A and B are shown apart, each in its own frame.
Chain A
Amino acid sequence: MRLRTMSGIKLSNLLLCGWSGLVLIYLYLPILLLVVYSFNDSRMSVVWEGFTFKWYGQLFDELVAHLGDERRSPLIESLSNSVIIAAITTAFSVVLGTAGAFLLYRYRFPALRSITALIFIPMIIPEIIMGISLLIFFKTVELELGFTTVIISHVTFCFPFVLIAVQARLAGLDPSLEEAALDLGATPLKAFFLIMVPYLLPAIISGALMSFTLSMDELIVTYFTRGPKSETLPIKVFGMAKVGLNPMLNTISTVFIVATAMLVVFAESLKGTARRLPDES
């Protein structure tokens, strides 16, 4: 009897493992192939011709040359554009998202509920619609397309992520915490920076990492709102892929994947901490 149930459990475990394996392969095989081909010693990338680091070497050379002002590398330039845009987007998103979450927490009018819903629409609306509507908007207000317009566009869909993360953390907040600070003589401003910000920090960081990766990844909205000098990495890669599969593409994508994955994992681990209440008994 006992044996049978045990083998029953084993069988279901086996099936579950097999299924999970298939799902993982489905998810990661294409990415794995891309990573593998970034080490492929061939110009025509789909045929394996031996292992090499040379594409990474080339990428590194381009980076050095670009930074040393010897030779302008469009690829590296687009990468640096992406990083700058993502950094500024993140800074604005953090401030807007944190302040927004705090205001929604502090002032609970019924009307604010619908406002909250409005804030989340940029997160789910099809990017192509976002892109077109932003383009129309920028044309209407006669804003020249470039860094500014790209950053404004990115902030619209990035800051809700910060807001959601901070809001989730605020939901578990003991309202007496801030009052305790005021009670002990802290002014509201001091209470905010000494008590609330440290309390919200894990959520703020997790939201910031989310918005940084989102901004780095973004293609469609950027495509509509960029100017001639604000080419981002995804746009550049997209353009290169149209011409033909270049091994450099695999290389830079691999670097990009590793960096993004690291950021996302870090953000997720922080979210875990953020959700856990600090010391509620």
Chain B
Amino acid sequence: MDVMVELRAVTKRFGSFHAVSEVDLQIKAGEFITLLGPSGCGKTTLLRMISGFETPTSGAVLLDGKDVTHEPPYRRDVNQVFQSYALFPHMTVQENISFGLRMKKVPKQELAERVRAAVAMVSLGGMEERKPSQLSGGQRQRVALARAIVCRPKVLLLDEPLSALDAKLRHAMQVELKQLQKKLGITFVFVTHDQEEALTMSDRIAVINKGRIEQLGDASQIYHRPKTTFVASFIGQANILRATVLSRSGERARVRLDGDIELLVNAEHLAGGAESALISIRPEKIALRKERHGDLENCFEAHVEDELFKGATDQLRLRTDSGLALTAVVANESSVQAALHAGDRVFCHLHPDDIVIVHEE
């Protein structure tokens, strides 16, 4: 598959502060990639080096095979949807959307045609003559989107485009954006700090922490096979526990937690020769039963310390006899007998593949 955007050891320093450090990233043509990370981790800076508003301190940015590291933004075939939308206040919707085409001196006929198509694509028909101040937040967002896609860029950069919308509209726009991206086949680089948004929309996710890519992979890899404690706890919830490595055979390793609990775990990320390691367990992967079930492998006893009602699920705090604390999430049982309560003794069952070795950040 073609590589559309390539970052080669890109570093950006502001003074002595490293906003982005040694980032290598290849983005495929037509891909929907998300840069996910906490506030201040360098997502916007990374995006701005692709759009050309920041020049890397070192490293190179390649666009469709061409080195554009030192090209100004107006000579790059990428467009951006700004977080604030940045619509031109003195221009109508129509004028806003056609701005890019006018700058590129697209012939009148074609310009009108393409603007009409873009307006239709984002369902803004009938609003062409309005000023941005006469639009709702969601409509402004669509204008910003139309203004960018009408230029048919090779890459569309979106910096938290949905963060100003309310939850309901945001979910609707997530679906719409994803469909639009599939239809247009444009490469999308999407920035967000919302892990749920990243998981639902992206082909691949780059999890960024302190200016570095911690992990790159599809939603399932990121969620089920986090490589670091940061990824495990930033995306979803995770129980991170310290363990001693006892033995290793191929895909599996045997580890011991405090209090003599022995577990068989997925050894994919285990460094060779490591004697101790951190393991990550997703709370919803802990199967709780009132009786011991199946073989004795990966099963240990605990009691429920307290429970937290969360609507569809119950969040339970568990403590093993040796004092280890764990969080588990179970489907909310309506029948009184099945429900677990504080003080109940339970057996925790875990599949080896649901226990992942993670590295400290």
Contact = CB atoms under 8 A, between A and B. Distances in A.
A181 B104 CA distance: 12
Interface stretch (B34-42, B78-86, B182-190, B253-261): B78-86
B89 A199 contact: yes
B79 A183 contact: yes
Interface in A144-201: 174, 176-177, 179-187, 190, 195, 198-199
A92 B133 CA distance: 33
Interface of B: 51, 53, 72-74, 78-80, 82-84, 86-90, 99-100, 103-104, 131-133, 137, 140, 147-148, 151, 164
B140 A185 contact: no
Contact of B131 (A174, A181, A195, A279): A279
Contact of A186 (B79, B89, B103): B103
Given A279-B133, A281-B164, A199 B90 contact: yes
A281 B151 CA distance: 26
A278 interface: yes
Contact of B74 (A174, A182, A199): A182
A186 B83 CA distance: 20
18 contacts: A179-B73, A180-B82, A182-B72, A182-B73, A183-B51, A183-B78, A183-B80, A183-B148, A184-B79, A186-B99, A198-B90, A199-B90, A278-B89, A278-B90, A278-B133, A279-B87, A279-B132, A279-B133
Contacts of A281: 137, 140, 164
Main secondary structure of the interface of A (DSSP, over half): helix
Contacts, number: 67
Nearest to A187: B74
In this complex, the member of A177, A198, A279 whose beta carbon has the largest number of chain B beta carbons within 10 angstroms is: A279
A186 B147 CA distance: 14
B99 A181 contact: yes
B103 A184 contact: yes
A281 B132 CA distance: 10
Contacts of B80: 179-180, 183
A180 B89 CA distance: 12
B104 to A, nearest CB: 5
Contacts of A176: 82-84, 86
Contacts of B104: 185
B162 to A, nearest CB: 14
Contacts of A185: 74, 100, 103-104, 151
Interface string A251-275: 0000000000000000000000000
Contacts of B53: 179, 182
Nearest to A186: B103
Nearest to B73: A182
Contacts of A174: 84, 86
A268 B147 CA distance: 35
Contact of A177 (B88, B103, B140, B147): B88
Nearest to A281: B137
B146 to A, nearest CB: 12
Given A176-B82, A281-B140, A281-B164, A183 B73 contact: yes
A186 B78 CA distance: 13
Contacts of B147: 180, 184
A190 B80 CA distance: 18
A178 to B, nearest CB: 9
Nearest to A278: B89
Given A180-B82, A183-B51, A199-B89, 13 more contacts: A174-B86, A176-B84, A176-B86, A180-B80, A181-B88, A182-B53, A183-B73, A183-B80, A185-B100, A187-B74, A195-B88, A198-B90, A278-B132
Contacts of B148: 183-184
B73 to A, nearest CB: 5
A197 to B, nearest CB: 10
Nearest to B103: A185
Contacts of A182: 53, 72-74
Contacts of A279: 87, 89, 131-133, 140
A64 B46 CA distance: 69
Contacts of B51: 183
Contact of A184 (B83, B89, B99): B99
Interface in A202-216: none
A199 B103 CA distance: 18
A198 B91 CA distance: 10
Contacts of B83: 176
B97 to A, nearest CB: 10
Nearest to B147: A184
B82 A184 contact: no
Nearest to A201: B90
B98 to A, nearest CB: 10
A212 B83 CA distance: 40
B88 A180 contact: yes
B82 A179 contact: yes
Contacts of B89: 199, 278-279
B86 A177 contact: yes
Contacts of B78: 183
Nearest to A277: B89
Contacts of B74: 182-187
A215 B4 CA distance: 59
Contacts of B132: 278-279
A281 B74 CA distance: 27
A174 B84 CA distance: 8
Given A185-B74, A279-B131, A279-B132, A180 B137 contact: no
A279 B133 CA distance: 4
Contacts of A195: 88
Contacts of A180: 80, 82, 86-88, 147
In this complex, the member of A177, A184, A187 whose beta carbon has the largest number of chain B beta carbons within 10 angstroms is: A184
A186 B104 CA distance: 8
Interface string A59-74: 0000000000000000
